[in-house]
Amino acid sequence: RIMRPDDANIAGNVHGGTILKMIEEAGAIISTRHCNSQAGEPSVAALARVERTDFLSPMCIGEVANVSAEITYTSRHSVEVQVNVMSENILTGAKKVTNKATLWYVPLSLKNVNKVLEVPPIQYARKELEDEGKKRYEEQKLDRLETKQRNGDVILPVINPEPHTVGYSQSSLIHLVGPSDCTLLGFVHGGVTMKLMDEVAGIVAARHCKTNIVTASVDAINFHEKIKKGCVITVSGRMTFTSNKSMEIEVFVDADPFVDEPRERYRAVSAFFTYVSLSKEGKPLPVPQLLTETEDEKRRFEEGKGRYLQTKAKRQAQMQQAAQ
């Protein structure tokens, strides 16, 4: 579809969140279709996890986004979908890959949302494709368990914070989950959640460096718990790490089932977003260093540095491989 002014920031770059939302919609369609391809109980595919995603090149207003999706692996209860996004300038015909994302879905019964159904197996062109898929499946399962433990953390407000501290840029928004945010089962679309997360992360990044900013990548996102229609969700973000040219922001999504439900507020999703700062000509700018004050902030900075160096090393290894 054509990118409109609404989809973009004031410099004309399409929000990462808009792209994440399109990716998730394509993933939800193809996996729901696959899970219902055999006779049996009807189901709706629910997003369980998005793998780390890089935004390879920015998309602009007026360009057309081409989204294509393919199922690449199925386990007994989950589906792996690979989604590619190309931006096309229909005036010049130029096309660029802007995103490749891998998403995991789980089929939930249309009659009983707490029942996970079985996934029809796909055919693999070669045996090794299946083995590689199985390996990815095991890895993400492990990672999902790990992040579940990190989940107690809460972002508290700070009074009169200094510029460039964590407290200075931290931000949060609330959103009442309405009917058009939801799937047939009455739960929030994963894509809607990701769009709100990107919005908050973008505000944190802009507050920190006071320039035009764009999403560079999103770490793996795990959807721990479903969010029901009528909930209020609180999306909060804080900066955890800065390198010379990038900022890492941690985002939490908490759900408050405040009507009709005896349940307490719970953590539904968390993730790390990486942003870069751009000049008016679209060139990367240096980012002010994050000032850490508390022990926790220093620890999180070091952890962020670890993730940053790991990603950098991985990218260099890939480039060397490609060059050989």
Binding site for its own copies (CB under 8 A): 1-2, 4-6, 9-10, 25-26, 28-29, 32-33, 36-37, 42-44, 61-62, 64, 88, 90-93, 110, 156-157, 159, 163, 171-176, 178-180, 182, 184, 199-200, 202-203, 206-207, 210-212, 229-230, 232, 256, 258-260
Using DSSP's 3-state secondary structure scheme, residue 171 falls into strand
- For the record, the structure tokens of 309 come out as 């160096």
Cβ at position 315, least distance to its own copies in Å: 29
Cβ at position 268, least distance to its own copies in Å: 17
Which residue in the block uniquely carries the two structure tokens 């439900």? 261
Q: Is the Cβ of residue 220 or residue 269 nearer to its own copies in the bound state?
A: 269
Q: Is the Cβ of residue 106 or residue 220 nearer to its own copies in the bound state?
A: 106
Question: Is 301 in contact with 291 (CB distance < 8 Å)?
Answer: no
- For the record, the structure tokens of 253 come out as 């999504």
Distance, CA of 221 to CA of 253 (rounded, Å) = 11
Cβ at position 141, least distance to its own copies in Å: 26
Q: Is the Cβ of residue 72 or residue 172 nearer to its own copies in the bound state?
A: 172
Cβ at position 96, least distance to its own copies in Å: 15
Question: Is 83 in contact with 19 (CB distance < 8 Å)?
Answer: no
64 C-beta neighbours (distance < 10 Å), count: 14
Distance, CA of 64 to CA of 24 (rounded, Å) = 17
Question: Is 234 in contact with 199 (CB distance < 8 Å)?
Answer: no
Q: Is the Cβ of residue 6 or residue 295 nearer to its own copies in the bound state?
A: 6
Catalytic machinery residues? 9, 198
Cβ at position 258, least distance to its own copies in Å: 5
SS3 content of the chain, % helix, strand, coil (to 5): 30, 35, 35
Cβ at position 323, least distance to its own copies in Å: 28
Distance, CA of 43 to CA of 225 (rounded, Å) = 18
Q: Is the Cβ of residue 64 or residue 291 nearer to its own copies in the bound state?
A: 64
Question: Is 106 in contact with 45 (CB distance < 8 Å)?
Answer: yes
Q: Is the Cβ of residue 45 or residue 50 nearer to its own copies in the bound state?
A: 45
- For the record, the structure tokens of 111 come out as 């009659």
278 C-beta neighbours (distance < 10 Å), count: 17
187 C-beta neighbours (distance < 10 Å), count: 22
